[in-house]
Structure 1
């Protein structure tokens, strides 16, 4: 406090100590401990500088004891480095995987058939190259009619990609509470953004096991058809070119024109419309 320009008498009165005691302490010779800490701090700074700022307290301690033969505790080195503002270089950020609370159970168990729309949706991501770089596409598929109810296209496989596809499906279909959204255990589907969007809309997340494509086989089959019927039929020059082609495939060809053998050779939209007529 005195070093910051405050009155010694005022500081002593606030702290309930004597001013004479402060002046006696100030004129006292440094203790052996403080001298040793000062010398150790100088050695630590030198070692830290030689290491190009990469050494943490463990490696500094090793250099002090093994390299220089000094006797010093780990805690002392850690304390002195903290006081001197010295830190080691941290490693690369680790890949962030889905937290345990965002990993859902498999509620589908490879049984994809449903008696009505908006009971079970499946979702996944695919990628395809262009001369400019890859294009990523996320799709949400209704297992009852095989209709693409949500999709998103981007240049990176982010959590926003899958969340946008899910958001489109929710806005267009208004699923009832308890409907299931099934995915693999990709980090995008375990993200807070995706799971929060699903749960806020009353959807129940479901995830297959790790590395087993059969747990989400319906959408894997969809990607396989899209690969044969669109993606692999030519080389794509730009991302925009491919994105436009994917849009046309999903909304025009697949939903409105392509006849599906599992739907009695009806298109997904025809199948849903017929189900509405029968239900009425």
Structure 2
């Protein structure tokens, strides 16, 4: 709608506001309200640009690690009274993002041989119960952290088996595989 009003503003000396508003099916009062708010919009845009500059300086000062919470906290300490959601919006709009730590459950055994990749990065199967993939994740519960191992059938995209425990040792994966073998009826060579 801003483009329509900007067009009317640009063309009003040659055609008149009433004619342009009628052709573009816009109420004249809406155009005049948009026109009256122009100073406010310009001031807000200037404030957003200044705040974005400060956010960028803080973000670069942290070697690109600070996200919204830390940037907002730093702005508060510097005396800037700004809403956290506005900081998040400006950072998102300008592609400023903090560093994320990924927590991995994998603890590789230094002495173990690497396992061959039987899937070969081909996550497609035509026949059900012939190709399974799996993963382990952790979930917060009322009893503490629980680890979930599950398998997915690549042909049907259904979960064929799962196991949950308070640890993520190899027995968890073996339990899930036992469930798949007993419940899903895996094909030979799966």
TM range (shorter): 0.3 to 0.5
In the superposition, the TM-score normalised over structure 1's length comes to 0.28
In the superposition, the TM-score normalised over structure 2's length comes to 0.40
Which structure has the larger Rg over C-alpha atoms? 1
